[in-house]
């Protein structure tokens, strides 16, 4: 009886070019390691070199996912920085205007 790895190699096709020359690839980066916890198997197409994560019934292009995660991280950092700046400016205005003393 063929192993699961053999069956997957025969049936898995590259989502980018459609080639069946797909092999197992090592996990790289925290996103791929995280997805592996939920059963994702990292694969690389030998024809076009695309990396993707294969789940039971769907495929995720890991390069696109990593780019989107990086953009989301930058957006969160910008929002946190902007909120910190606004809070700091409000604190300065309240301090300079002689706002109510603490405890009142």
pLDDT digits (tens, 9 = 90+) for 18-75: 888 887 777 777 777 777 777 788 888 888 888 888 877 767 676 677 777 777 788 8
The residue ranking higher by pLDDT, 99 or 97, is 97
Q: How far apart are CA 65 and CA 51, in angstroms?
A: 11
**pTM score:** 0.48
The residue ranking higher by pLDDT, 14 or 86, is 86
Q: How far apart are CA 44 and CA 23, in angstroms?
A: 6
Reduced to 3 states (helix: H, G, I; strand: E, B; else coil), residue 88 is helix
């Amino acid at each position: 009886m063929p192993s699961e790895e053999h069956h997957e190699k025969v049936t898995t096709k590259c989502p980018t070019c459609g080639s069946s020359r797909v092999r197992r690839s090592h996990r790289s980066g925290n996103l791929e390691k995280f997805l592996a916890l939920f059963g994702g198997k990292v694969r690389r197409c030998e024809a076009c070199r695309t990396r993707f994560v294969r789940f039971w019934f769907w495929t995720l292009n890991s390069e696109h996912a990593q780019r989107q995660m990086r953009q989301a991280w930058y957006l969160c950092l910008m929002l946190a920085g902007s909120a910190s700046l606004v809070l700091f400016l409000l604190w300065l205005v309240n301090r300079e205007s002689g706002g109510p003393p603490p405890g009142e």
